[in-house]
Amino acid sequence: MPEGFRIRDPDDEVYRALVRRAAEAGVSVPDLLGREATRLAPRLTVQEWLERTRHRPSTISRAEVLEAFEELRGLWPGADR
């Protein structure tokens, strides 16, 4: 049987947010946290993802990536374009 876990002394603001989210989902806080842990557990960490993707070849240039970002969110403050 798997072990349980506890989160001790969460910040008041964090706990209130969890209570609100659990109420919106119609579940208890422990059930909400269990769902979130189940969703989080199989995901790669940032380090694992970087290791997996580090050596993949790309045909996209740095300029093309920056251009795509600019289209999505606008120019960086102070950019001269």
Q: Tell me, what DSSP letter sits at residue 48? A: H
H helix intervals, the chain: 12-25, 29-40, 46-53, 62-73
How many Cβ atoms from other residues are within 10 Å of residue 74's Cβ?
9
The pTM of this model reads 0.59
Give the mean model confidence (pLDDT) for residues 9-21.
Answer: 96
Residue 81 pLDDT more than 60?
no
How high is the pLDDT of residue 56?
82
Give the span between the Cα atoms of 18 and 15, in whole angstroms.
Answer: 5
What are the residues whose beta carbons fall under 8 Å from the beta carbon of 59, sequence distance 6 or more?
Answer: none
How high is the pLDDT of residue 58?
84
Reported as a single tens digit per residue, the pLDDT across 23-67 is 999 999 999 999 999 999 999 999 999 998 888 888 898 899 888
User: What does the block give as tokens for 6?
Assistant: 């506890």
Give the span between the Cα atoms of 56 and 35, in whole angstroms.
Answer: 33
